[in-house]
Structure 1
């Protein structure tokens, strides 16, 4: 049970495995201003940067769950580096069935709503761990611009136009799920650039040191096409944000 190696190759230098910068992650923490001692569950936690830095900056405690052994190992090392290993723990598991042992004040799934087969299922999963009055964090892409045709949809690595919503429609969906949207922090094109273009350098460095690996041809083809595809489609059409929800 693990993520494909291609994921960990692309994001080998990343601390944040989504289009957020450290500044935006810190801004989100300040925006919701959790009380010291608040317990948090982060499903699909990646390398644990949100949980670790918020434990340091806000005194949180909590648990991160992720499918990747590489990411979980990085998260544990980050917790030790920031001297918060006694506040947080990281579990290698399929987050799609994970419910906290005790209710938490913050339940998060930032960029991995596939664990609940979409936004609706993920909100329902997080509710199983959430204390009354707690907050849910959902990280989700959306259409920054309406795609004109199927060519644009596929250029953004989507199968169908309906795979994503526009930002107003996404917020309306949250309301339809019985949630108030109480905060949001959105990625911008610069933070997208930092996330995606760093992947190209990671892939190139990996190719230089692993030319005979069984994935080399696949990763070479990806590096050849990815920059043009990104600036032609994803950079212009895709948005991404973290939305803070509270049950009505």
Structure 2
């Protein structure tokens, strides 16, 4: 059980596997005003940057769950670098079926709502681990601009324009699920660039080192088109944010 190799090649150098930079992640952590000792569960935690930095900065504790062995090794290394190995742990597993043994103060799925087959299922999954009065964190794309045609939709990694909603409708959907939106921090074009453009350097260095790998031609073709696709479509049309929710 692991992520496909092309995904880890593309994002191996990342600490944050979504279009947040470290400043936005810190802003979110401060905005939540978590007390020392608050317990977090981070489903699809990637390389664990949220848990590790918040454990350092806010003295929270937590568990991260992810399917990627590569990213979990990076998470454990990061925890050691920041001196928080006594406050965080990382579990290799399928986040879609993970429920905390003891209810937590914050249950998060930041940018991986496919683990619940979409936002409603992910919110339902997070609720199973959350204490009464706790906070859910959901990271989700939204349309910054209405896509003009199917080419734009597919270039933004969607199948149909209904895969994502504009920002107001995204917030309305959370309300329909019985939650209050109590905070949000949104990506901007600069943080999108840092997430996506960093992948191009990862790809190029991997291509130079692995000319005979079976994935070489596929990833070479991706790098040929990715920069223009990003600036023409994703950077202009697709937003992304983390939304803090509390049950009504």
* TM surpasses 0.5: yes
User: Hey, what's the Cα distance between the residues in 1 that align with 2:218 and 2:79?
Assistant: 33
User: Hey, what's the Cα distance between the residues in 2 that align with 1:71 and 1:99?
Assistant: 21
Residues 86-134 of structure 1 show CA distances to partners (whole Å, capped at 9, x for unaligned) of 1000000000000000000000000000000000000000000000110
Task: Give the equivalent residue in structure 2 for 1:207.
Answer: 207
Do structure 1's residue 27 and structure 2's residue 27 form an aligned pair? yes
Task: Give the equivalent residue in structure 1 for 2:163.
Answer: 163
User: Hey, what's the Cα distance between the residues in 1 that align with 2:88 and 2:140?
Assistant: 24
**Alpha-carbon distance, 1:154 to partner:** 1.3
The DSSP-based 3-state class of the residue aligned with 1:159 is coil
Alignment map for 1:1-248 (pairs within 5 Å): 1-248=1-248
The DSSP-based 3-state class of the residue aligned with 1:122 is helix
User: Hey, what's the Cα distance between the residues in 1 that align with 2:149 and 2:227?
Assistant: 21
User: Hey, what's the Cα distance between the residues in 2 that align with 1:49 and 1:127?
Assistant: 23
Residues 208-233 of structure 1 show CA distances to partners (whole Å, capped at 9, x for unaligned) of 00111110000000000111111111
Q: Report the RMSD for the aligned CA atoms in angstroms.
A: 0.5
The DSSP-based 3-state class of the residue aligned with 1:223 is helix
Equivalent pair of 2:12/2:71 in contact (CA under 8 Å): no
The DSSP-based 3-state class of the residue aligned with 1:107 is strand
User: Hey, what's the Cα distance between the residues in 1 that align with 2:222 and 2:17?
Assistant: 18
Residues 171-193 of structure 1 show CA distances to partners (whole Å, capped at 9, x for unaligned) of 00000000000000000000000
Give 5+ residue unaligned stretches, structure 2. none
User: Hey, what's the Cα distance between the residues in 1 that align with 2:234 and 2:76?
Assistant: 32
The DSSP-based 3-state class of the residue aligned with 2:65 is strand
May I ask how many residue pairs the two structures share in their alignment?
248
User: With structure 1 as the length reference, what TM-score do the two structures score?
Assistant: 0.99
